[in-house]
Chains A and B, each alone.
Chain A
Amino acid sequence: MVTTEEEAVRAVPEADVTPRGRQLRTATTIARDYGMHLALVALIVIFAIASPDFRTVENLLNILNQVAVVGIVSVGMTFVILTAGIDLSVGSLLALTSLSSGVFAATQTSTTGTVLLALAVPLIVGLVGGMINGAIVASRLATPLIVTLGTLTAFRGMAVQYRVNPIHNLQDWYREIGSGRTAGIPNGIYIFIAIILVASLVLNRTRFGREVYAVGGNEQASRAAGINVARVKFAVYAISGLCVAVAAIINTSRIGAAQAIAGQGLELQAIAAVVIGGASLFGGRGKISNTVIGTLILGVLFNGLVLLNVSSPIQNIIIGALVVAAVSLDGFFRRRSA
């Protein structure tokens, strides 16, 4: 993976401090920067010991395939959160893009042209949906929370209005995207990895990526440095919408149906993944690789709990507590390094 943006940026004090202070600070720094890696490893070890079903190659591939959908949405969400924004509309937009994909992938509308449309139309719908969010947020007329809370409702309404009944009987080639395998590995994983690489490249190696960090870190200073803040904000929501569309195609293909109720609660899972990955909701701090770790932690946790026959309400309690703990830790470290 591309070298990461924040590797160099550590809250190291400028002058020497006492040895004890330095030790403490180093420990804090490690906990902050690698806490989630350790947590992931710990979870895997625990579940591997507790459940024989967990420690199979097939199950691990299964986990990766399952996290691909949430993971891709989380990557888009990372861009948004880096600018101190939030995108609550991803779940509803996923339903809308699913339907716009499914319509062209259903067997009864089978012509060669629809192959392209089943992929292109959802991407356009996702992009436009994200651009609507971005345009309103960039205009500064309403906060990201309110804007995307509104579009969360509106996009869902559009999806249901468009089609209440699920679209089943999707074409075979379409089913291959999400449930097929290449060289023994589910196709969704390849797409996920490709998205991760592109997103890392954009954040770390492009002017735009640098501007995303700057705008999230300090909007006023970014504007004073000549950065087009509105354009950056607009773009991150568009990116989020585009990621949602890609995730929607994989998801629709894998479950074999496009439905208006798809993606409910997806926004919370995506935000949770980003936050568990250590990104700050205040913006300016976070990276793609950490979001991926956050996604994996959630995926492993879900999978492991299911295999251990933990009931779904209990799962939710655990995941919820984890999110609060992750954000509190972020607050703790912020205070530390302040």
Chain B
Amino acid sequence: MGSGQKGEGMTDLPPAPPDGRAPSGVLYPGGPEGHQPSSVLIDQTAPLITLRDVRMQFPGVLALAGVSLDVARGEVLALVGENGAGKSTLVSILAGLVSGYDGEVLLDGSPITAGSAKESIALVQQELSLVPEFSVAENIMLGQLPHGRLPGLYDRRKMDAEAQRVLDILGVDLPLRRPVRRLSPAQSQIVEIAKGLARQPRLLILDEPTSSLTTVEAEKLFSAISALRECGVAVLYISHKLDEVLAIADRVAVLRDGRKVTEGPSVEWTEERLIRAMVGRDLSQFYRRTPHTPGNVVLEVKALRAPGRFEDVSFVLREGEVVGMAGLVGAGRTEVAEAIFGLSPARDGEILLNGAPVRVKSPRTAIAHGMALVTEDRRQSGIVGSMATSRNVSLASLVAFSRGQLLRRSVESAEISRVASRVNLARHTLDRAIGTLSGGNQQKAVIAKWLMRTPKVLILDEPTRGIDVGAKSEIYRLVDELTAAGMAVLLISSEMPEILGMSDRVLVMRKGRLVAEFSREDATEESLMAAASDASTRNGERSW
């Protein structure tokens, strides 16, 4: 069912079943309002969703500090803001995933409940929530598989047909019976979106839907969104890609530090103005990069190769230099960092530190050679959540303050205080289990852990993901100070402004290969994106 057919049920409403759902097989007959039995009683010009002064407090963070917002029927509202601005929290509240907030959230004028949220709102998140072993069709229809003839069985043919119908709306073609684990990340993302759509929501929330999509794929998504708008479905669109936001949204709302700072029709915005609203200050002040001439080569990577992860990666890192590493999710940047640091060593290639080849078999050897890695996933591999912050900070340097096996605890706590104040980590956080701290404080502690060792090479993998603006700017300041003192920094980031604002040089990876290098002067958001996204799929090479 393409956009041309979407109005067919307008005059011929199918009888609504008692549960208010459309009979299976009919997706949005006459718009989603058509199958809502109560719709006659509801003022169609009133907003679909109304938020009034919504506040949400998490341990350590005020995630939302009183947000009021309307989402109209059939509008595409873009929600922009930095990581930690409160977008995810707001979305989780709407989807009924979290409770315990203050303020009002109204759906059709009545307070939203877990039940009504489930009925009317579909959330498509970045983290894939698909079952890898299930087929495309099964994943799309998960939770609403059509019943078969015998109880407990489902009708495979019907399921495939309905899944196909959803994919038609999106204008894409996917093999319905193929298990999702055999799809590309972009294809999985499409399945994720289709799954959300299959529930026939009245509000579809898309959280960074294009982060792993190529340009062509993204274009298809945009036309599908337009088609949904025609059906009266509201779309809440969250993205860091501001050009997309301005192209597709009717309205834009900007969140910063848990507050809605501004909103308005997207025609009134420019990317620059949006960024200024998101950051709350000029970018030139936000990113701190004192220019200075880089020194000797500290780290040299030659023809590093790990089959299936990355191929033929070579680059150098000089003293006092920040080298940014850009690329799409899954391009192999994290894998390269993990290979250099010995977490999962490369099969071939050479790593040279200060000109001497080193064999890095484990993080232990990498650390001994003066390297440090702030990992992408803090909870999984950055912190020991149950341990005190102070003990996390000293974890990589225990040898330095022990005599034999015995720990010299006074020396240890002196060292902890020193690095904690260096990264501006408040004293009162030190004795607490690090797992209870905010993301920003956790990240500062992780960085403090490495500073204690005064590494020569610091690899930062998405260092500001999920942390608040304040901690973010402190991390930038710190990176600037450290490089001024001669440290070499490899900065892996998916945030373009961060890469552009902090890097002296930028490397771009695509599909496991280093494909481009830009000087600070030549690097622009456009040039990086062009290098990072695959030109061959842009020409429609990929099957779907």
Q: Which residues of A contact B449 (CB under 8 A)?
A: 225
Contact B433 A224 (CB under 8 A): no
Interface residues of B in 331-368 (CB under 8 A from A): 341, 343, 362-364, 366-368
Interface flags, B188-204, vs A, CB<8A=1, else 0: 00000000000000000
Q: Which residue of B lies closest to A15 (CB)?
A: B60
A220-B381 contact in complex given A14-B429, A15-B60, A226-B363, C-beta closer than 8 Å: yes
Q: Which residues of A contact B173 (CB under 8 A)?
A: none
Residue of A8, A210, A337 near B398 (CB, 8 A) is A210
Contact B432 A15 (CB under 8 A): no
Report the Cα distance A79→B402, complex, angstroms. 21
- Min Cβ gap A335→B in Å is 13
A207-B399 contact in complex given A9-B432, A10-B432, A221-B383, C-beta closer than 8 Å: yes
Contact B343 A223 (CB under 8 A): yes
Residue of B59, B60, B398, B432 near A211 (CB, 8 A) is B398
Contact A9 B387 (CB under 8 A): yes
Q: Which residue of A lies closest to B405 (CB)?
A: A206
Kindly state whether residue B388 has any CB partner on chain A within 8 Å.
yes
Residue of A13, A17, A220, A284 near B380 (CB, 8 A) is A220
Contact B363 A206 (CB under 8 A): no
Q: Which residues of A contact B485 (CB under 8 A)?
A: none
Contact A284 B60 (CB under 8 A): no
Contact B406 A205 (CB under 8 A): yes
Report the Cα distance A17→B59, complex, angstroms. 8
Contact B387 A213 (CB under 8 A): yes
Contact B405 A9 (CB under 8 A): no
* Dominant SS among interface residues on chain B: mixed
Kindly state whether residue B69 has any CB partner on chain A within 8 Å.
no
Q: Which residues of B contact A217 (CB under 8 A)?
A: 384-387
A224-B375 contact in complex given A14-B60, A210-B398, C-beta closer than 8 Å: yes
Contact B405 A221 (CB under 8 A): no
Kindly state whether residue A12 has any CB partner on chain B within 8 Å.
yes
Kindly state whether residue A228 has any CB partner on chain B within 8 Å.
yes
Kindly state whether residue A302 has any CB partner on chain B within 8 Å.
no
Report the Cα distance A228→B362, complex, angstroms. 9
Interface flags, B384-407, vs A, CB<8A=1, else 0: 111110110001101100100111
Report the Cα distance A8→B431, complex, angstroms. 6
Q: Which residues of A contact B59 (CB under 8 A)?
A: 13-15, 17
Kindly state whether residue A106 has any CB partner on chain B within 8 Å.
no
Q: Which residues of B contact A285 (CB under 8 A)?
A: 386
Residue of B367, B375, B407, B433 near A10 (CB, 8 A) is B433
Report the Cα distance A228→B386, complex, angstroms. 19
Contact A214 B436 (CB under 8 A): no
Contact B387 A226 (CB under 8 A): no
Q: Which residues of A contact B368 (CB under 8 A)?
A: 226
Q: Which residue of A lies closest to B362 (CB)?
A: A223
Contact B438 A14 (CB under 8 A): yes
Q: Which residues of A contact B343 (CB under 8 A)?
A: 223-224
Contact B441 A14 (CB under 8 A): yes
Q: Which residues of A contact B466 (CB under 8 A)?
A: none
Kindly state whether residue A227 has any CB partner on chain B within 8 Å.
yes
Residue of A12, A225, A228 near B396 (CB, 8 A) is A225
Report the Cα distance A9→B392, complex, angstroms. 12
Interface flags, A9-32, vs B, CB<8A=1, else 0: 111111101000000000000000
Contact B386 A210 (CB under 8 A): no
Size of chain A's interface in residues, with CB distance under 8 A? 32
Q: Which residue of A lies closest to B432 (CB)?
A: A12
Q: Which residues of B contact A210 (CB under 8 A)?
A: 391, 395, 398, 407
A221-B61 contact in complex given A213-B387, A226-B364, C-beta closer than 8 Å: no
- Min Cβ gap A5→B in Å is 9
Q: Which residues of A contact B380 (CB under 8 A)?
A: 218, 220-221
Contact B362 A207 (CB under 8 A): no
Number of A-B contacts (CB under 8 A): 111
A221-B384 contact in complex given A211-B398, A214-B395, C-beta closer than 8 Å: yes
A9-B373 contact in complex given A14-B60, A207-B398, C-beta closer than 8 Å: no
- Min Cβ gap B327→A in Å is 22
- Min Cβ gap A294→B in Å is 19
Report the Cα distance A221→B384, complex, angstroms. 6
Q: Which residues of A contact B62 (CB under 8 A)?
A: 15
A218-B385 contact in complex given A14-B438, A206-B405, C-beta closer than 8 Å: yes
Report the Cα distance A224→B380, complex, angstroms. 10
A205-B381 contact in complex given A224-B343, A224-B373, C-beta closer than 8 Å: no
Report the Cα distance A10→B406, complex, angstroms. 25
Most buried by B among A9, A208, A225, A227: A225
Kindly state whether residue B421 has any CB partner on chain A within 8 Å.
no
Q: Which residues of A contact B364 (CB under 8 A)?
A: 226-228
Q: Which residues of A contact B57 (CB under 8 A)?
A: 15, 17
Interface flags, A284-326, vs B, CB<8A=1, else 0: 1100000000000000000000000000000000000000000
Q: Which residues of B contact A214 (CB under 8 A)?
A: 384, 387, 391, 395
Report the Cα distance A45→B461, complex, angstroms. 57
Q: Which residues of A contact B431 (CB under 8 A)?
A: 8-9
Q: Which residues of A contact B436 (CB under 8 A)?
A: 11-14, 337
Q: Which residues of B contact A211 (CB under 8 A)?
A: 398
Q: Which residues of A contact B385 (CB under 8 A)?
A: 217-218
Most buried by A among B385, B387, B405, B431: B387
Contact A226 B367 (CB under 8 A): yes
Kindly state whether residue B242 has any CB partner on chain A within 8 Å.
no
Report the Cα distance A285→B399, complex, angstroms. 23
Residue of B362, B388, B407 near A8 (CB, 8 A) is B388
- Min Cβ gap A32→B in Å is 12
Report the Cα distance A11→B387, complex, angstroms. 10
Q: Which residues of B contact A223 (CB under 8 A)?
A: 343, 362-363, 381
Q: Which residues of B contact A220 (CB under 8 A)?
A: 380-381
- Min Cβ gap A161→B in Å is 38
Kindly state whether residue A222 has any CB partner on chain B within 8 Å.
yes
A218-B384 contact in complex given A9-B433, A15-B59, A211-B398, C-beta closer than 8 Å: yes
Contact B407 A207 (CB under 8 A): yes
Q: Which residue of B lies closest to A220 (CB)?
A: B381
- Min Cβ gap B55→A in Å is 13
Q: Which residue of A lies closest to B373 (CB)?
A: A224
| 29 pairs, CB–CB < 8 Å, chain A vs chain B | A8-B390, A9-B388, A9-B432, A10-B432, A11-B436, A12-B436, A13-B59, A14-B429, A14-B437, A14-B441, A15-B61, A207-B398, A207-B399, A207-B402, A210-B398, A213-B391, A218-B380, A221-B381, A221-B382, A221-B383, A222-B384, A224-B341, A224-B363, A224-B381, A225-B367, A226-B364, A227-B364, A280-B386, A285-B386
* 10 nearest CB pairs, A to B: A14-B60, A217-B384, A226-B367, A13-B59, A284-B386, A220-B381, A225-B396, A206-B405, A218-B384, A217-B386
* Chain B interface residues toward A at CB < 8 A: 57, 59-62, 341, 343, 362-364, 366-368, 373, 375, 380-388, 390-391, 395-396, 398-399, 402, 405-407, 409, 429, 431-433, 436-438, 441, 449
